Structures are given as structure tokens and as C-alpha cells.
Structure 1
Amino acid sequence: MSTPFPSDETAKETPASVSKPIKSAENASLVDSSVALGFPEGGFTAWGTVLGACLIQFCGFGYTSAYGVFQDFYTQTYLTNSTPSAIAWIGSVNAFLVLSVGVVSGRMVDRGAFYPLMKIGCLLQCLFLFILSLAKPDGYYQIFLSQGVGFGIAIGLTNIPSIAIVSHHFQRCRAVAMGIVVAGSSLGAILHPVILNNLINRRLGFANGVRASATLNSGLLFIANLLMRTRIPPQLNAVSYTRILKNSSRDGAYICACVAMTAFEFGYFFEVFYLQLDSTLHGLSEGFSFYSLTILSFGSFIGRLTAGVVSAYVGIPNTVVGSLLISSAVIFAMIGLQSAVSVAVIAASYGLFSGNFIALMGPLVSYLTPENSHIGARMGIMFAISSVGSLLGAPICGAFLTSHYIWWKAAVFAGSVATGGCIALVFMQVILKMRQKASSVCSKEAGV
């Protein structure tokens, strides 16, 4: 999964008539964003901001992506009176809030509230993790409110702002810098499952294990806040989401892309939440099962790195269609999960192709958006809509799974929904071809 990239509005060049430098960030609200002189494209402050934002992603969305560890532990040990579907609601509400709250927090950054957002969001992340450690066995609502609701809102306050801030320091190298930041969430998804499995299941138990991970995150978030710096003043005339939403509702290709992204979220969180539990209940060794999510996340990390290279040869729309098609097929392959080899193949392949898809959703929105100033808003709208898939996917799959663990029903449902997303992307391709054909006809008539 991924987060929306900000608009390129802040990347506009400064008018030549502007010569007065900005003295401080505190007075930024009094100055129009056009007075920001150039982009550093490097330096200690710029790359320090990238490192800080990477740490925010590591502790935030990277931690959310490790919920499969908690799903396994809660189901078998800590919340035995709750069904897998009920337990999945904790993680799905968390993921939903991370994406949906980001629409609001991203807009607040445009208005100059970056520092308050980061301080409040990071403090709440630490607070709710420590509160989570106080939850008692079978205390479902204690865990739901702290980890699902509170922790989700806290991450949502920092998630998109940590990506948007990079645009203050880079223009030419913005894609590279943002790629490094987003890779922080993948790195977190690789390491957090290893850390949590060892702390909670092997060494310290639930309470002390969560406190240890909370202490680690607190230190990293503190360092991140010291490193990140704003540079460009707030936008005085923010883009109207209402107007863009009306225009987007008439864009068939964009609507198809939103449907596909929502369908993808259904299948994505089925794999992320249930893969470790599935491998454990199939009798695989505890040590190997604990690393199943790490294999998936490492595959996703590779997929995100290679997505740009693949799309350069076959095109962004074609790469997105192929990635979602193969990801859907891998979800169906969960029906045949039996051995360590099958877990490794499913985890690695799904991680690779889902990572391709996630990495290209931002560029796809850019491809579908005629006006550059609307890119950030359209991404925010898409990710807010797709968060419905992250909210409902895992719990509905858990309902199909039942307490008897009927894996084929859940896999067929998740795979079918993801396949529906592929069909939506095919319709998107058809619409784009029709537009190109109509455009070429108009061009020929104009030439005549």
C-alpha cells in the first residue's frame, strides 16, 4: 500500500521581480508562497528532512503494515473470545484512519500547520502505544480504541505531511527524495514484524514487548522531529477539493482507477493480516511463520524499486493492469498454501507485484490528470475512497474465514474482488484509447 504524493504547485519557479528573502518560518503566513527562492536540491537541511520523514514512515505506516503479527497473536493467545473478523477490525480501522485522516492533515500542511501536526501526531503515537500495553487479555475494546482508533488517527496526522514536506526542498530530485521517504514504510514493514514477534512471542510478552517497541518508536520519532524543516510559506489560495471532486466525477478513467485501487485494498490487507496466521495454523514452524510477513514486505520493497523501470518500457497503465492481475492470481493461490515453500513463493510474489501496483498509483493519477495543480488533490481523493477497501476488506474476509478457518472461502472472495479491480482497469484502458482516437481525429480535422 501507498500514500498520495503532494501536488507540484509548490514547485513553481519564483517570479524574477521577487528579491526579498524570507527571514523566518514563523512569519511565513504573511508571505505568499511565490516568494520562496529556488530549491536547494540537497544540503544538510534537505537531506535531514528526507531522513526524518523516512523515520516517520518507518514508525507509522510501517508499523501498521506489521498488524499481521498482532492478528496472529490476538487470535491464538490474547483475544481468544473474539472471532478473526472482529480482531481484523482493529487493524482495518487503523489503516482506514491512516489514509482518510491524511486528506485533512495534508490540507493543514498547505495552511502552515506542519510543526503542530508532527508534534501532536508523534506524541499521540507514543501515547497510544503505551496505552495499548496496558490492555488486558480479552480486553477487545481497550485494544480497539487504543490501537485501532487512537493509533490510526495519530499516524494519519503525520503520514501525508511527512511526504509533502520533501517538496519544500527538492524539485529536480523530488521523485528520488520521495521514493526514499516512501521506502521507509517498506523498511518498517520488513523489520517491525521481526521485532514484534521476538519481543511479544519469545522474550518479553505482550505488555513489555509493546512498551519496548513504543520506546524504540518514541526515540526515532523524536529524532525525526529534530531533523525535519519547512521552507516554503503556506499556500494562500488552496485548491478547492469540492470543485476537483465534481470534475473528477465526470472522468470515467479516473473513476475506474479509484474502483481498482479500492478493490486492491481488499486483497492487500487479506494477505497482510492473515498470511502469518495461515502459515501457523497449517503446522509450519513458528520461526518460519514469524518471517512470512518479512518476506512479503521485502518483495514489496523490491517491487516499489523496480516499478519505474518496468513502466518505462511498457507504460504506466499496462504495468498497473499486469501487476494487479498477477496479484489477484496470487491471492487465489492462498487456497493451496501448505508448505514453507508455498508460503515463501506466495509472500514474495505477492509482495513484488503488489509493490509494483502501489508504487505506480501516484504516477497513474498524474497520467490521468490534465492539470498539474490538481494532482495532489486527486491523489488525496483517490486514497480517501480506497481507504474504504482497507476498512472493510480484512473483516469481511475474516467473516468468510469463520472460527473454523475455512481459508478457501476468504481467498476466493478477496481474489474475486481484486479481479474486479483488474476489470475496472481494463475499462480505464478502453476509455483512454477512445480519448486518444478522438484526439487524433480532432487534430487531423484541425490540420485540414
Structure 2
Amino acid sequence: MDSAIARERVRSFVTRPPFAASPTTPPGTNTPQKTPQASLELSTRPPSVAIEDFRAETSESGERLSSHCRCEPWVQLLVGHLVLFNSFGLIQSFSIFQPQYAVLFGASPSAVAWIGSIHVFLVYFIGTFSGKALDAGYYTHCLGIGLMIQLVGIIGAVSCDNYALSFIFHGVFQGIGHGLMFCPIVTNTALYFWRRSDGGTAEDPDHEGSLNIRTATAMSLAACGGGTGGIVFPLIARATLNRYGIPWTLRIIGLVVLANSVLIFALAKEKPRDEPETRVKSRIVEWRAFKEGAYALYVIAMFLAFVGLWVPYFYVRDFNANALHISPPTSLLILITLNASGIPGRLIPALLSDHVLGAINTYILVLLTTSTTLLLWPFVSSTVGMFVWAAAYGFCAGGVASLMQAGIASLNTEPQKTGVKIGMAFSIVAFASLVGGPLGGELIKAGEKRGDGREKYLWLQVFVGGIMLLGCAVLVGARVLKTGWKMGVRV
């Protein structure tokens, strides 16, 4: 009997939660003690029952410990931030390379813009399909392959001595690498912050999740990675470009990207969901969605807006040098200002959307202010004015880039098809981004007939401002189809 009591005491000690207090009796208290007979009754249970009790107790202990470990979503948010740092940080810094490649390769602005445009195109277009790979359980594979392809692209771009190789390594390779990572990392981050309005979690099988305020804020913080990278990469260029040239600038950028990649791969963790075999399969294209008038107009509005969105990021340094005769170091500071202001530009519209106006109403306001800022660009005639304009446009453009998914979710009436509709919008936006940069270069070439200064860029500036304003008007039409002409409706 004594050995049975000893075994029971050892088992109760082992199954006690970690760091639990020892069962001691304070002095001076009369607490009933277990009798040998009670311990004997416990020890006479069948071994299988004891094992099941042990498993249940340890499982409950693990769940209690897991509930206290709330840092994992924020770690994955950091991973998302770093991925967008590496991808959109370089896209928003393409103006570093635009004038340099034009001189190095003897190419026109339009030809050089194809390098940056194919990069943006592949990020959005491949993102449509890499999102499906995430659903199939290949999250880590997408990250690992994407990181390797991106690093190969940067290493190859270092030794490029002609336009074709630069197009392949800087444009195609980096675009593929970023595209493989972009949609999975954005979706995975959202899943970690996915919550029900009643406090439930995404693991509950009998609920429909929704993007709440916490989720939208987290997504905006991850999207700020593009702004952070857009600050760091021009600072590197400002310190190295004139002294060491493009090869060493790319090498140092590559080291930063490599350091981020190590952190990304070490910290990345897929949100546990259903097994791949049991996950619901969805189509890549849902053609019936275009029969919804509000969604169809929304996608058209996004196409028009994204045609002009990235053009200033490509040509701002070219404009600074040729139109305002600003020195290269100061021009890089203007680029940094343009990218830095995009950080609050991503956060503030998201908060305004969640708390006050709704996604579509906020997006209309953002497109209106962005188009107004672009139409004021021809009136900038000084260095100070350019700093002010860059800060204003960067803020507005940050909202244009970050609110697209929220707008689709706001218009959508079928929650289970939200991902498909966002993927379709990504594909359409990809083609808009592909044509925007080269078209801007052709407009600059056409403007040379007007003169060599600010007049040279007038057609470009009027075009991007006008097409953004047209996109705003089409988005108003989508809102009217959804809610009518009621002004006070939050949508």
C-alpha cells in the first residue's frame, strides 16, 4: 500500500502545471489531510484511465500556457513587415536606379521604366497564385523559394553591364521572388489577427471571420514595411552611389536584404488551419463576380488608379534633376520624404476607415486628395516646394496602396469569396502597374517638344492626375450602386 501511495504522489507532482506552487499548509491552520484510504482509492484506478487523465491534465496545462503566449501574432507581423520591406521598399526606391540605368545603358526613360514595371507586375500577378499555394499548405516553400530568387536577382543585378541582363535580374527575378512571398505573407498575417466580433477566434469551426479593427491596424503596420524599406534603401544609395557606383550600392542593399531574409525564414510560422486535404478548394477566377455592378466598377477604378500610382516613384529623381536642377544627394532626401510619409499614409486612412467613414468612403477621399496632389505637381518650382509635394503625395499614395483589399471586403456580399475577388483585383492591378511606368516615359519623351525644363513633364503630370481623378469618379459610381445616393451611409 505504501508503494501505491508513493506512485500516486509522484504522478500528481509530475502532472502539476509548471511553476505551480507546492501544496503547503500555513502554520496555525487546520486543513484536512488525505487519509491513506483516500490515496488507496485513487491508486486503484485502471492504468488506462490514469494515462487518459494524465494526457487531459497536460493538455489543459499546455493550453493555459499557450493562452499566455500572445507574442506569436506580433512576431508574424514583424515577418510581414520585413517581407514588404524587401519587396515594396525596393519598388518605392526604383527612382534610385531610373536615371543611373538610363545613363549606364544609354536607354530611354520608358525603356528603363519597364524594369521597375515588370517588377511590380509580377508581385501582384504571381501573388494571385501564390495565395493558392498557401491554401495548399506550401507557406514555408513559397517563402524559402521567394527569398532565394530575390537574392539571386540582386546578386545578378550587381554584375549587369547591359539592359537585357538588368531587365532579367532586377525586374523579372526580383518580381518573381517578391510575388511568391507577397500574398502568402499578407494572408498569413491577417489570419493571426482574425477575430470574431463576439471575441471568438479563427479556430472556431462554426463562425464566419471578419476583419476587425485589430486586424486592419495590424495589416497597416505590416504594409508600412514598404515605407521603412523606402527610407533605408535611399539612405544607402545616398551614402554609396556617388562614391562607389551602382555595383557596390546593390551589394550593400543585398546584404540588408539577406539579413532580413535570415530573420524572415527563422521567425516565419504558418497559422495552423485545416489540413491541406480538407481545406475548401476555391476557384482562381470567379467570373460571376463581374456581374456584380459595384465590384466591376470597383475593379475598373483600381485599374485607373494604379496606372498612375507608381509613376512618381519612378520619375521623381529624374524630375528633380532635369526640371528643378536639384543635386543628387538632396534628390535622394526628397525620395526618402516621399517614402517616409507613406507610413502614416497607410495607418491613418485605415483607422479612419475602421472608426469613422468605412472603407469605400475613405477610399474615395484618398483618391480625391491623391489626384488633387498630382494635378498640383506642375506648379512645383523650388526645392522646398518639392519636399512639401513629396510628403503630401507619399501620404496619399500610401492610402491608395493599402486600402484596396479593405474596399473589396466592404463591397462583398459573399464572405467565402473575398479571397478570390481580392486575387482577381490583384491580377487586374498588375496590368495597370505594368503599363503605367513605360507610358509615363513616353509622355516625357512627347513633352520634350515643349522644352527641356518643367514643361517636359507636363503631359506626364496631367495624365497621372487626370486618370487618378477618373478612377475616383468610377469608385463613386461603385458606391452609388451599393448604397444609393445616401450620404450618411458608412460603407
**TM class by shorter-chain length?**
0.7 to 0.9
Aligned to 1:419: 469
Determine if contact 1:50/1:228 at 8 Å carries over to the other structure: no
**1:364 corresponds to which letter in structure 2?**
G
Other-structure match for 2:50? none
Contact kept? 2:81, 2:223, Cα under 8 Å: yes
Contact 1:284 1:340 in 2 (8 A): yes
The equivalent of 2:223 in structure 1 is: 182
Structure 1 segment 34-433 matched on structure 2, within 5 A? 43-75=70-102, 77-79=103-105, 81-136=106-161, 139-172=162-195, 173-199=214-240, 201-233=241-273, 234-235=275-276, 236-241=278-283, 245-281=286-322, 282-311=324-353, 312-402=355-445, 404=448, 406-433=456-483
Q: SS at 1:43's partner residue?
A: coil
- CA distance in structure 2 between the partners assigned to 1:63 and 1:134 by the alignment: 18
CA separation of 1:423 and 1:42: change in aligned 2, threshold 3 A: farther
Quick one: which amino acid aligns to residue 405 of structure 2?
G
Structure 1 regions of 5+ residues with no counterpart? 1-19, 22-35, 438-448
In structure 2, the CA distance between the partners of 1:112 and 1:436, relative to structure 1 (3 Å rule), is: farther
Q: Distance in 1 between matches of 2:76 and 2:378?
A: 44
Distance in 2 (alpha carbons) for counterparts of 1:414 and 1:130: 34
CA contact (8 A) 2:216 2:350 kept: no
SS of equivalent residue, structure 1 residue 338: coil
Letter in 1 for 2:181: T
One-letter amino acid matched to 1:78: L
1:316-368 deviation line (CA, Å, top 9, x unaligned): 32221121112112212222232112211221111112222333222211110
Q: Kindly state the Cα deviation for residue 196 of structure 1 after the two structures are TM-superposed.
A: 2.5
Shift of 1:266: 1.6
- For the 8 Å contact 2:317–2:335, the answer to whether it is kept is yes
Deviation readout 1:426-445 (Å, 9 max, x if unpaired): 211221233989xxxxxxxx
Corresponding residue pairs, total: 398
- Contact 1:259 1:386 (C-alpha < 8 Å) held by counterparts: no
- SS of the equivalent of 1:154 reads helix
Q: RMSD of aligned C-alpha atoms?
A: 2.5
Looking at structure 2, the residues matched to 183 and 151 of structure 1 have their Cα atoms a distance apart, in angstroms, of 20
Q: Is the Cα–Cα contact under 8 Å of residues 217 and 347 in structure 2 kept in the other structure? A: no
State how far apart, in whole Å, the 2-side matches of 1:430 and 1:177 are: 30
Counterparts of 1:170 and 1:179 in 2: how far apart (Å)? 12
- TM (norm. structure 1) is 0.83
- Compute the displacement of 1:289 (Å): 0.8
Give the 3-state SS of the residue equivalent to 1:60 in structure 2.
helix
- The amino acid across from 1:165 in the alignment is N
Please say if residues 131 and 187 of structure 2, whose CA atoms lie closer than 8 Å, have aligned partners that are also in contact: yes
Question: 1:41 touches 1:171 (CA, 8 Å); kept in 2?
Answer: no
Shift of the alpha carbon at 1:239?
4.4
Contact map agreement 1:248 1:255 (CA 8 A) in 2: yes
CA contact (8 A) 2:90 2:233 kept: yes
SS in 1 for 2:291: coil
For structure 2, the residue ranges without an aligned partner over 5 or more in a row are: 1-54, 57-62, 196-213
Tell me: CA distance 1:169–1:322, structure 2 relative to 1, closer, same or farther (3 Å): closer
CA distance in 1 between partners of 2:268 and 2:67 (Å): 15
**Cα deviation, residue 107, structure 1:** 0.6
- Cα displacement string for residues 184-223 of structure 1 (whole angstroms, at most 9, x for unaligned residues): 1221122222222322x23321112211211221111011
User: What is the CA–CA distance in structure 2 between the aligned matches of 1:266 and 1:337, rounded to whole Å?
Assistant: 22
Deviation at 1:68, TM superposition (A): 1.1
Shift in Å, 1:44? 4.3
Q: Which is worse superposed, 421-430 or 86-95? A: 421-430
1:121 and 1:157 in contact (8 A); partners too: yes
Q: Is the 8 A contact 1:267 1:331 kept in 2?
A: no
Structure 1 Cα separation of the partners of residues 400 and 69 of structure 2 = 29
Contact kept, 8 Å, 2:363 with 2:403, in 1: the verdict is yes
Output the amino acid matched with 2:135.
D
CA distances 1:78-103 after superposition (whole Å, capped 9, x unpaired): 22x21100110100010000110001
Distance apart, 1:232 and its partner CA: 1.4
Contact 2:93-2:234 within 8 A present in 1 as well: yes
Q: Equivalents in 2 of 1:324, 1:126: separation in Å? A: 35
CA contact (8 A) 1:42 1:170 kept: no
Q: How many Å separate the matches in 2 of 1:248 and 1:210? A: 43
- SS of residue paired to 1:402: helix
CA drift of 1:42 comes to 5.4
Write the deviation string for residues 413-435 of structure 1: whole angstroms up to 9, x where unpaired.
Answer: 22222122012112112212339
- In 1: Cα distance, 2:375 partner to 2:192 partner: 43
Q: Which has the larger radius of gyration?
A: 2
For 1:124, the aligned partner's letter is I
Q: 1:339 and 1:426, CA in 2 relative to 1: closer, same or farther beyond 3 A? A: same
- Answer with 357-366 or 419-428: which moved more: 357-366
TM-score (ref. length: structure 2): 0.76
Q: Using the alignment, how far apart are the partners of 1:345 and 1:72 within structure 2? A: 22
Give the Cα separation in 1 of the matches to 2:436 and 2:68: 40
